[in-house]
Amino acid sequence: MNDAKQINPVLKQVLELGPTLVFFGIYLLIRDETYQWNGTEYSGFIVAALVFVPILLVSMGILWALTGQLSRMQVFTAFMVIFFGGLTAWFNDERFFKMKTTLVYGTFSALLGIGLLRGQSYLAYVMAEVMPMQHEGWMILTRRLCLGFAVLAVANEIIWRTMSTDMWVKIETFGFPIALMAYLWWQIMALQGYMIDTDNDDQGQ
């Protein structure tokens, strides 16, 4: 049963996507600056990454207060941001924040893969109420998203290790989310034949 309160979808998108866009904006403003604190010099990127943490937490807090619910994915992502943001500051090394994306996508892929090995779709567990679909369809979608997350994890490793920080920030902010949403939409459209028409089912009862 889904007890989440409904809020304006535009506000929901702002709360979910806003922190990343704010991080992008802050980074653009201070990327060429350096800051000293307690005798240690920090780059603009690291400062932007640290500022991103409380912004994300405030946004999630507002979302939870308005809806009464946060997804497991949101909670896990927030934990990873806090953890790797802390490592980034502690070691004064931007690589930790960049590796976060690899581990987030890699973990999603691994979790979906574990479910597949057990003959289950963990996607169905969290999405079946909003997108009714036959079991076979869920298994196909899960296999494809498992592969998709794995590809994004590998892509992030290649990008941050071979490209500039500027390029990584742009791809992290826009490229990966757009690619993931487009891929997910493509798969959902391709699996329409497995969708369950709940309206017809209700009328037939």
Q: What is this structure's pTM?
A: 0.84
Q: How far apart are CA 85 and CA 30, in angstroms?
A: 17
The predicted pLDDT at position 106 comes to 96
- Whether residue 205 lies inside any domain: the answer is no
Instruction: Report whether 101 contacts 177 (CB < 8 A).
Output: no
- Whether residue 12 lies inside any domain: the answer is yes
- Whether residue 144 lies inside any domain: the answer is yes
Residues 27 and 68 in one domain: yes
Contacts of residue 202, Cβ cutoff 8 Å, sequence gap at least 6: none
User: Among the three residues 76, 93, 110, which one is the final residue of a domain in this structure?
Assistant: 93
Residues 6 and 36 in one domain: yes
- Whether residue 32 lies inside any domain: the answer is yes
User: Among the three residues 53, 74, 93, which one is the final residue of a domain in this structure?
Assistant: 93
Residues 82 and 155 in one domain: no
- Whether residue 201 lies inside any domain: the answer is no
Residues 191 and 98 in one domain: yes
The predicted pLDDT at position 196 comes to 82
Question: pLDDT tens string for the chain (205 positions)?
Answer: 455 677 778 888 888 888 999 999 999 999 999 998 888 899 999 999 999 999 999 999 998 888 888 777 788 888 898 899 899 989 999 999 999 999 999 999 999 999 999 999 988 887 777 788 898 999 999 999 999 999 999 999 999 999 999 999 999 999 999 999 999 999 989 989 888 876 555 444 4
Residues 103 and 44 in one domain: no
Give residue 186's domain range: 94-195
What secondary structure does DSSP assign to 43-97, as a single string?
EHHHHHHHHHHHHHHHHHHHHHHHHS---HHHHHHHHHHHHHHHHHHHHT-THHH
How many other C-beta atoms lie within 10 A of the C-beta of residue 77? 18
Residues 108 and 179 in one domain: yes
The predicted pLDDT at position 3 comes to 58
The predicted pLDDT at position 123 comes to 86
Residues 105 and 71 in one domain: no
Q: What's the number of domains the chain is made of?
A: 2
Residues 89 and 78 in one domain: yes
User: Among the three residues 67, 93, 119, which one is the final residue of a domain in this structure?
Assistant: 93
Residues 135 and 76 in one domain: no
